[in-house]
Each structure stands twice: as structure tokens, then as C-alpha cells.
Structure 1
Amino acid sequence: MDFTQTEAQNDLARLTAEVTGKLVTADRLRELDKAGRFDEALWSALAETGVLAAALPESVDGGDFGALEQSSILRELGKSVAAVPYLWSIVVGAGALAKFGAEAQREWARQAGAGGVILTAALAEEHNWEPAKPTTVAREAGGGWRLTGTKTTVPYADRAARILVPATVSGRPAVFLVDPADASVQSTAQHVVDWSAEFALEFTDTPAELVGTVESGAEILDWILTRAWFGLAAQQLGTLEKSLDLVAEYAREREQFGKAIGSFQAVAQRLADAYIDVQGLRLAVTQAAWRLAEDLPAAEAVHTAKFWAADAGHRVAHTVVHVHGGVGIDRDHIVHNYFTAAKHNEFALGAGTDHLRAIGALLANPA
């Protein structure tokens, strides 16, 4: 196991940091701090600089890098709490279509890598998939497929050209590609903690394209969920790293009783615990990325990373707010953006307990 960063990781991290550093300012974050937040200028810049396509396979005109490089990009986007769908459109959407899609479906991955379209996935109900409780059901009709059911908190569904939708076929999971602009799809905006662009979708006999085969549906859904969990953990790492920087700087500068508050034992202990949490999450994310990149069994490592993202994320986010005091809950202060982003990443696709259960199941029933 070699955790030394690759040259491509370092280059992509620097490039992403340069782009976000120029475009994502405190004023810009305040401007975007509203329902349906999306930074179109940043998304275009990431496409123009080649960041979007860099970690996609060569088969879809990508740079043929993998999870390690994607983690570097996600980490930098997390540091700036960037309002862009890199995880959903590139890592999950384009990645899945590039690996499992037919040629016509892989074209969507190419366009996503070029920034021409946005892809997303409806996964909120699937992270603890139960065949007895399907939220969306698929049936064959007229040589194609039709979906009926509901999905909640679908990221960027208002801007997506296509959505990956897991559905049940005779009690088995399969994955479909759906056009959200179809008249049979009803979309309702949802308000979430960090104002992310997320939507509830209702499908009523909606036309859909099967990705892969019904027989390979479980494998495809597992691949998609694994990358989504990993991506959320990597993004959370960047958010917590920057949060720790912000609170450490505040603790050095803010004075009380003639001393910097960082010199008080209680504050120093909170910051030390936060530092340990961030280091733990960094190790877990790096291990998960390495195992994915090496095509090794990674389920346990990914669940571990997502557990740390949720559990450590909760502690660090609250430490940042508590040490900042009153300004920590001021919506006009930048710390607010990091707190809400960390809370969103904490609960998205399963809180800590969900992933502890998954780890327990893997340990009890090793492959």
C-alpha cells in the first residue's frame, strides 16, 4: 500500500485549487446561499481547464485516471464548498455510463466530461436497498422500459440531461437512464440544509433505457453506490480541512481576558480532537481511493471512510461553530457555509450508523 500522491493527483489538486481560488469568494458564496445553488461560472471553468474530463476513462475521451485523482479534485471542491455537481455528473454519472453503458449511453459520458451536459443519480432510497420495499418499479413495454415510482433528494435534477435511476425488476435491482424533461416526470424542488439543488421526482410510466442488463443490475448499483459514498467522504475531507484552518486561525486571533482563546485548555482540546478527526478521515479516504484505484475489494474501506465522514464530520462541524461563538451561526459568516456543507455530507446516503451496520455485515459475512 503506497499512499504517496501521484503526479497527476498533485497537478489536478493544484489546478482545481487555482480555479476555485479565483472564482469562489466569500461574496460569491453569500450570493449563492439560496435554494438551488449552482455556480455556473465555476462549472464552465472546470470544463474549460480539463478538470471534468481528467479522471474519466480514455474510452470517453478522458485522461484515464481514477479514484485517486478524483479524490484530489473532490477534496479541493470540498475546501471551497463549491456548488457544482462534479461528484454526481462525473464520478457517478459519467463514470457509470463509461463502464457499463452502451455506445449511445457512453456519448452522454463524453458530453458530461466536456461540460456540455450534466448527469445525476437518484440514490437516496438505495443505500439500504430492500427488494421488499421498492420505491420505483420497472416493466418492459413495447420493446423498451417504463418506470413508475418516486425518488427524493435527487441532486441537480433541474439541470440534468439524464438521470441514473435504480428500479426493481421482478424483485431485482436494475439501473435505468431517464430523461427528466419527459412529460411523465414530475419534479418538485426540496429545501435541504445547505440549499443544495435537490429535487423529489415522481415517475408515471416514464420511458427509460436499461443500463447494462437486468442480470448485471446489482453489480452496477453496487458500483454506483460505492463511488457515491467514496465521493461524499472525499468531499467531506476537504470541507473539514478548510473548516479546521478557519477555526484555528480564529482561535489564534480572537482574544478574551487578554489572551488568544486558543490558549485556553478547553478550546485547545477541542481543536486537538478536531485535528485527530481530520487526520483519521484523511487516512480512511486515502485507503478507500487506493483500493478502488487498484481494483481491490473496497466495500469495507469505503464504508469506513463514509462513517468517518459522518461521525468526525459531526464533531468537527460543531467544534467550528462552538469555538466561533455567536458569529458561527451568522448566515453571513463564511463558517456557516462549512457547517451546513459538513452536515449535508454527514447525512447524504446514510449517516454513521448505517455504515457501521454495513461494516458489521461485511465482517460477519466475508466474501
Structure 2
Amino acid sequence: MDFTFTEAQHDLSGLARALFTDWAEKGNLRDDTGFDRALWQATAQAGLLDAAVPEPVGGGFGVLEQCSVLIEIGRTLAPVPYLTSIAVAASAVAHFGDEAQVQRWVVPVVGGAMTLAPALATEDDGFRAEATATGWRVSGSRSAVPTGAFADAFLVEASTVAGPLLLVIDRATEGVQVSVQHVVDGTDAALLELDNVEIDIPAVLGAPGDGSAEWAHRRATVAACAHQLGVLERALELTSEYACTRKQFDKPIGSFQAVRQRLADAYLDVEAVRLTLWQAAWRESEGLPADAEIATAKFWASEAGHRVAHTTVHIHASIGIFLEYPVHRYFVAAKRIEFTEGGATAQLRKLASASRRSEP
């Protein structure tokens, strides 16, 4: 296992930090829509979108480089759908699709002209597909599809008799209904409903049961962990700075033992997220079995995310819950990611199931 950053990771991370920090320092704040089209296009022009997809469309980099960019997006809460459009949807099309599909869906995304939203199955929501003479007929619904409110197309996971299948469905397709939903940190999510939508073969990635859906879930989980690391890093930095400057009884509150202990615990939590993220991302990048490591990383992203988010608000006291104050945005972002791709309890269940399967 090698945690040393590649040259590409260093370069992409530095470029992303410069771009998104400049955006934030100009007084820009994420609005409820969660999407800044001008910033998305600037991200494409900087080369951050095409770098992390396979050649010849992109730079040929992968999950490690994507995580480096996602950390920087998390630090500023930049309203760009990199996680959904690049790390999951475009990467899946590039990995499992043919040349025509890559040209149709990946090229516009990495050019900043389009966004994709993954509508992967959950325990409560999902889609089913039945074979037709020319392709598939898809029905079902998925609630709270991230970045679905403004997505141009959706990467849909549908169940079939032969196993799960990935399809790309254009928003304008007949039978597709998209309803904007308000979630904890904005209105970028959507309820996606498909009513007997006819999908032809060119919109289908691979074949049912080929492992593409599982691949997409793994990448979505790793990406969520990377984004959470950036959120928690910056939240802890802001909280530490506040504890050094905010005074009570003529002393910085950071000098009080209880506050110091709370910050120390938060530091350990952030480092646990960092270590488990890179362990999972490295194994995934090497094509090694990584289900247990990814579940472990998501457990820490959820559990530690909950604790650090609450520490941030508690140490800031009443100002921490003001909607106009930046700390609140980190709190709600961390809480949303806590449950993305399953919370801490769901990850422990995955680990328990894997442990039982490995027993002789």
C-alpha cells in the first residue's frame, strides 16, 4: 500500500485549491441550487474535468486524482457537480461504454457543457427494466437524486432478471419526470420518476449483471468520503481558529480543557477519515478487492462526520447555527454526506455480512 501522492495528484490538488479558493475569496457563496454554471465551465477550462477520465477523451487519471480534487471542492463547498458528473457518471460511461457513448455523454461533460446525475438503487427506491425488441422499458422512481434538479441526463441503475443494468437517460425523454426536492443543504436533489420509458441499445452500458452497477456504487462511496474529508478538514480549521480568538473570562476558549479535548477528538476523527479514504481509494485504483475498505472508509466519513460537524457548531455556540455564517454550510454538508451511500450503521452491516461470508 502506497499513500504517496502522485505528481498528478499534487498538480490537480494545487490547481483545484487555487481555483476554488479564489472563487470563495471573491465573496461567492453556494446558493440553494448547488450549481454555479460559470464556475463549472471555469473548472472545465482549467482542465480539472477531463484530467480524471480515460484517454483519449481525458488525461487518463483515475480515482486517486479524483479524490484529490474532491477534497478541495469539499474545503470550499464549491457548487460544482464534480462528484456526480465526473467521479461517478462520466467515469462509468468512459469505463463501460463504447466510443459512441463516450462521445455522446462524456465529451460534453468534461467540456463543461453538460452535467450527469447518477440515480443508483437504494434499499427504498429503484428502477426495473424489461427487455423489448429494440432495448429496454424502464419504470420506477428514485428520491433525492443528488444534483438531479439541474442534470441534463441520468445514469440509471435498473434491476433485470439477469442482474442490475446501467443506462443513460436524457432528461427530455418521454416518460421522464423530474421534481426538484429540498434537502438539508439546498435544492439540487430531485425525485426522478420513469413511467415505461423506452430505452434503445445505444443508451445501455454493458450488459445486465456485468458488475458495472457495483462499480458505480463503489466509486460513489469513495467519492463521498473524499468530499467529506475536505468538508471536515476546513470545518476543523475554522473551529480551531475561532477557539484561538474567541474569549471568555479574558481567555481564549481554546485554553479551556473541555474545548481542547473536543478539538483533539475532532482532529483524530479527521485523520481517521483521511487514512481510511486513501486506503480504500488506493485498493480501488489497483483493482484489488476493496469492499471492506470502502465500507470502513464510509463508516468513518459518517461517524466522524457527525461528531466533527456537531463539534464545529457547539464550539462556535449560537453563531454556529446562523444561516448567514459560513460554519452552518459545513455542518449541513457534513450531515448530508453522512447518509450518502449509507450511514455508519449500514456500513457496519456490510462489514458484518462480509465477515460472515469469509468464515469457513
Partner of 1:212: 206
Q: 2:270 is aligned with what amino acid?
A: V
**2: distance between equivalents of 1:202 and 1:171?**
23
SS at match of 1:58: coil
Q: Which runs of 5+ in 2 are unaligned?
A: none
- For residues 193-225 of structure 1, give each alpha carbon's deviation from its aligned partner in whole angstroms, at most 9, with x where no partner exists: 000500001111112232101241xx1111000
Deviations 1:157-202 (A, max 9, x none): 2332321111111273211111111231111111100005000011
User: Is the 8 Å Cα contact of residues 126 and 157 (structure 2) preserved in structure 1?
Assistant: no
Task: Work out the CA distance in 2 between the residues paired with 1:68 and 1:168.
Answer: 30
1:292 matched to 2:279: no
- Residue 53 of structure 1 aligns with an amino acid whose one-letter code is D
**In the alignment, is the contact (CA less than 8 A) between 1:155 and 1:196 conserved in 2?**
no
Between the two proteins, the alignment pairs up a number of residues equal to 355
Q: Tell me if the contact between 1:226 and 1:299 (Cα under 8 Å) persists in the aligned partners.
A: yes
Superposition pairs for residues 1-367 of structure 1, below 5 Å? 1-25=1-25, 27-29=27-29, 32-34=30-32, 36-59=33-56, 61-107=57-103, 108-123=105-120, 125-126=121-122, 128=123, 135-170=126-161, 172-208=163-199, 209-216=203-210, 219-366=211-358
Between the aligned partners of 1:189 and 1:83, the Cα distance in structure 2 is 17
Q: Which residue identity is paired with 2:310?
A: H
1:26 CA drift (Å)? 7.7
Q: Which runs of 5+ in 1 are unaligned?
A: none
What do you get for the CA RMSD once the two structures are aligned?
1.6
Task: Answer whether contact 2:162 2:209 (CA < 8 A) is retained.
Answer: no
Residue pair 1:178, 1:207 contacting (<8 A) in 2 also? no
Separation (CA, whole Å) in 2 of partners of 1:120 and 1:259: 49
> Does the CA-based 8 Å contact 2:184-2:336 persist in structure 1?
yes
8 A Cα contact 1:313 1:343, kept in partner: yes
Residue deviations 1:85-140 (CA, integer Å, cap 9, x gap)? 101101111110111112221111122122221111102x43x5xxxx87321112
Amino acid at match of 1:18: A
2: distance between equivalents of 1:301 and 1:282? 13
C-alpha contact (below 8 Å) 1:184/1:203 kept by paired residues: yes
Q: In 2, distance between residues paired with 1:293 and 1:135?
A: 28
Which stretch shifts more, 266-275 or 65-74? Answer: 65-74
Q: Name the CA distance, whole Å, in 1 between partners of 2:315 and 2:352.
A: 35
TM superposition score normalised by structure 2 = 0.95
CA apart distance, 1:25 = 3.9
Over the matched positions of the two proteins, sequence identity in percent amounts to: 45
Structure 1 letter corresponding to 2:268: I
Asked whether the equivalents of residues 309 and 331 of structure 2 are also in contact (C-alpha less than 8 Å), the reply is yes
Q: Distance in 1 between matches of 2:277 and 2:125?
A: 31
Indicate the SS of the match to 1:365: helix
Q: Contact 2:41–2:111 at 8 Å: present in 1 too?
A: no
Residues 325-362 of structure 1 deviation map (CA, whole Å, 9 limit, x = unaligned): 00000000000110010001101121110011111111
TM-fit CA distance, 1:366:
3.3
- 1:349 and 1:311 mapped to 2: Cα distance? 13
TM-score under structure 1 length normalisation:
0.93
Quote the offset at 1:300 in angstroms: 1.0
Matched position secondary structure for 2:303: helix
| CA displacement at 1:42 relative to structure 2 | 1.6
1:157–1:180 Cα contact (<8 Å) kept: no
Amino acid at match of 2:60: D
Alpha-carbon distance change, 40 to 268 in structure 1, aligned in 2, over 3 angstroms: same
CA distance in 1: counterparts of 2:31 and 2:26, whole angstroms: 10
Cα distance in 2 for residues equivalent to 1:178 and 1:88: 15
User: Does the residue aligned with 2:196 lie in a helix, a strand or coil?
Assistant: strand
Instruction: Check the 8 A contact 1:83/1:196 in 2, yes or no.
Output: no
* Inter-CA distance 103–4: structure 2 relative to 1 (3 Å threshold): same
Q: Is the 8 A contact 1:185 1:206 kept in 2?
A: yes
